[in-house]
Amino acid sequence: MSQETIFSKIIRREIPADIVFQDERVTAFRDISPQAPTHILIIPNKLIPTMNDATVEDENVLGHMMVVAAQIAKNEQIDERGYRLIINCNRDAGQEVFHIHMHLLGGKSLGKLIS
């Protein structure tokens, strides 16, 4: 049984968050500690702790997260200039919240991928 995180409470709207999009499969909200002018997290409503836990059954929701990210980038008017999508997995990547989340970062020049 996977352990729920604070993100499950955000999905259920039990704690405040700046939710920019939600449907039956995913929720997207602004990161509480933004690293760029636009910093939004896109998460599956289903709890998947890390990328290592993703299965073939999750392909649909994982693909949907990317399509939603692109739509949000358009809404944020960062699609033409560009943006970056990141999913951190486990310790070396610095994953802090064990509920898969895709970071959508943009609104400034983001530099090289790894600094």
The stretch near ligand AMP (CB under 6 A) out of 30-38, 43-51, 52-60, 104-112 is: 30-38
Using CB under 6 A as the binding rule, the residues of this chain from 43 to 82 that contact ligand AMP are none
Of the pair 80, 96, the CB lying nearest ligand AMP is at 96
Q: Output the smallest distance, CB 46 to ligand AMP, in A.
A: 17
Size of the site for ligand AMP (CB under 6 A): 12
Whether residue 69 contacts residue 26, with contact meaning beta carbons closer than 8 Å, is answered with no
* Catalytic residue flag (residue 39): no
According to DSSP, residue 4 is labeled P
6 is a site residue for ligand AMP (CB under 6 A): yes
Residue number with CB closer to ligand AMP (66 or 97): 97
- What stretch of H or E contains 30? strand 26-30
Question: Partners of 26 in the beta sheet?
Answer: 44
- Two tokens, residue 22: 């939600």
Shortest distance (Å) from residue 35 CB to ligand AMP: 7
**Residues that bind ligand AMP in the complex, under the rule CB under 6 A:** 6, 17, 29, 31-33, 41, 88, 94-97
